[in-house]
Amino acid sequence: MEEEPLNTTAGSADDILERSRSPGGAASCWEDKYHRKLAICSIICGFSCIGINALIHSVKAEKTEDPREKAMARKYGIISILVWVCFLALIPVLLALISYLLTLKD
């Protein structure tokens, strides 16, 4: 069996190299023009009702090219995640407060 050399085309890997040099990676939000990834993450990792509102504004921003819709999508996405983080931080504080109040009762 004869071995044939591989035929290569000059510059055929340039596109792959350019993508690998971009900041971030596969989960990067650098190229997320309409904040779609942020909206989806805010549905999963934040309060879903606010995250869905962010996703709605993201879709509207894509269809209308309105910069105000992009800003609203970003704002609602960040608010959703921040509210969820505050909620998670508040649970132990409330449990400690309830525990303290129950010990005062006794």
**Is this structure's pTM higher than 0.75?**
no
Which residues lie closer than 8 Å to 68 by C-beta, 6 or more apart? none
Whether residue 65 has pLDDT greater than 70: yes
Exposed / middle / buried, residue 39 (Cβ in 10 Å: 0-12, 13-18, 19+): buried
Are 54 and 38 a contacting pair, CB within 8 Å? yes
Token reading at 2 = 């004869």
Six token digits for residue 12: 């055929």
Instruction: Evaluate if residue 42 carries a pLDDT over 80.
Output: yes
Query: pLDDT tens for residues 21-30?
Result: 555 555 555 5
